[in-house]
């Protein structure tokens, strides 16, 4: 006769309950624990032969050389080699000169506006003082 376990369940049913919980875990996205490789199973990953490894390394190095050579060409164009003017540098210099001219023009205009404001405030102050000192006999 089977003995009663926790909650009045029979102990023989414990195996069934654990199997059911394993199936629920699989449905919830949990993966079951994998068994260790047995000696009769072959490893799927083999070591590459030396020739293939060296060939791949040589290909990677060739690609790196191409990339570095293209960077050298770009740097030479930016710096402008002896006897050559770079179009990019000329455009940059021209833009910088235009920016300097515009900045100077803006500074000049700001100064002119400040001078006009100063003259106007002085004029308005002098008008205010002259109006406040008008004699009462002349007004009436």
Question: Rounded to two decimals, what is the model's pTM?
Answer: 0.32
The region of weakest confidence among 66-75, 98-107, 129-138 is 129-138
Residue 1 has, within 13 A of its CA and on its CB side, a CA count of: 2
Residue 61 has pLDDT above 90, yes or no: yes
Whether pLDDT at 87 is above 70: no
What is the H or E stretch that residue 123 is in? helix 87-132
Token look-up 């803006």 returns 106
Q: With a cut of 50, say whether residue 14 has pLDDT above it.
A: no
What's the pLDDT band for 59 if we cut at 50, 70, 90? Answer: very high
Q: At what angle do helices 50-79 and 87-132 cross, to 10 degrees?
A: 50
Q: Partners of 4 in the beta sheet? A: 10
**Alpha-carbon dihedral sign for residues 100, 102, 103, 105:** positive
């Amino acid at each position: 006769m089977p003995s009663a376990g926790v909650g009045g369940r029979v102990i023989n049913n414990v195996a069934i309950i654990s199997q059911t919980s394993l199936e629920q875990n699989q449905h919830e996205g949990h993966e079951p624990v994998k068994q260790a490789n047995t000696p009769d199973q072959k490893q799927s990953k083999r070591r590459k032969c030396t020739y293939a490894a060296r060939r791949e390394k040589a290909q990677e190095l060739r690609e790196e050389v191409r990339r570095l050579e293209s960077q050298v060409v770009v740097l030479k164009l930016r710096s402008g080699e002896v006897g050559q003017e770079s179009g990019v540098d000329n455009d940059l210099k021209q833009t910088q000169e235009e920016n300097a001219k515009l900045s100077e023009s803006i500074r000049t205009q700001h100064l002119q506006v400040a001078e006009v404001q100063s003259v106007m405030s002085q004029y308005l102050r002098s008008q205010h003082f002259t109006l406040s000192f008008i004699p009462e006999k002349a007004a009436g």
